[in-house]
Amino acid sequence: MGKKSPRIVVVGGGSGSSVALNGLVNCRVSVSAIVTMFDSGGSSGLLRKEFGLLPLGDIRQCLLALSSKEDASVRGMINVLNYRFESESSLMGHSVGNLVLAALTSIHKDLKKAIEELSALLRVKGHVLPVTYDQANLCARLENGDIIYTESDIDLRSDSIPPIETVYLDHAVKVNQEAVNAIDSADLVLLGPGDLYTSIIPNFLVPEIKSAISSTRACVVYAGNLMTKRGETSGYKASKFVSEVCRYSGREKLDYLILNSATLPDEVKFAYKKEKAEPVIIDEEVNNYANNVVIKDLVKFEGTTVRHDPKLLTDEIMAFIELCSNTINE
């Protein structure tokens, strides 16, 4: 019998998780993506309001990231599913992929079956697991006591109002047990990359997920943010990001924290400064929240946008798998 493929679970949202998944899909690993289900903005928000559907955008992004892109027919479908209507019409802002998932959900009366069917069409290499199949809204209490009631309002809030004190769900939800099982059987759990309060932490607000992550014997890794985000993490240093991850996940320390060392070009920093965002400063306090801190060049640039490079990030994750395996076997 051959060596069993390492089991990796990525916990987050859509855009950030899809970066990691785009790299991991090319490796000999078994991948599951646990996806937050509390998005209320954009196309997902419109479909929630109009049809009462769960948010679909993050699910779509993760499915596309794990699809068999070496297959020409799948590549063609990806191009179609990624298309977003931009002209003035009732479809403005919707992506075709979200609409297809909405149609499949309506046909089957079941989001799980919709995900399974689209996974089969895209020949997805892995599993995309909603953290819950229940509706709920993400809320934030600010330091002055004010409450923000939806994910989109948290995501778009002004930097002129007080910082976030805590985030929570407006009511309890039933966990997707498959997500818990994936964590329980994982060799490595990757938290992020993604927005701190609207992509990563919402998953920990489901108690069973928090419990699974806090008690897992798997190697737990956090891919630290590259930039702060206006109104959400303004002024945060790396230690603040990771301390919040520990606070909400129930872990005293993470096994690995991976941070970016690359200096950003002036034109990139200028573009982000206009959005009131800055590169995350790495401070010594990060060592209080992780047993191992790895600082490396992790980025790629798309014009003036900076993102984690899928290959560079994946290379580090695969190295962590080997290190964690050696530690467990000692």
From the centroid of its chain, how far is CA 315?
18
The C-alpha angle 271, 200, 95, rounded to 5 degrees, equals 65
Q: What are 8-43's pLDDT values in tens digits? A: 999 998 789 999 999 999 999 999 999 999 988 778
The yes-or-no verdict on residue 4 having pLDDT over 50 is yes
d(CA 147, CA 167) in angstroms, rounded, equals: 9
Question: Residue 58 sits in which domain range?
Answer: 38-130
Which run of H or of E encompasses 327?
A: helix 310-329
Q: What is the pTM of this model?
A: 0.94
Q: Specify whether 111 is located in the same domain as 196.
A: no
Q: Is residue 197 part of a domain?
A: yes
Q: Is residue 157 part of a domain?
A: no
Q: Specify whether 323 is located in the same domain as 218.
A: yes
d(CA 201, CA 38) in angstroms, rounded, equals: 11
The yes-or-no verdict on residue 160 having pLDDT over 90 is no
**Position 327 confidence tier, pLDDT thresholds 50, 70, 90:** low
Helices (H), 25-159: 42-51, 57-65, 72-81, 96-108, 111-122, 151-155
The yes-or-no verdict on residue 314 having pLDDT over 50 is yes
* Coil, helix or strand at residue 121: helix
**Position 1 confidence tier, pLDDT thresholds 50, 70, 90:** very low
Neighbours of 216 (CB within 10 A): 18
Q: Specify whether 182 is located in the same domain as 330.
A: yes
Domain count, the chain: 2
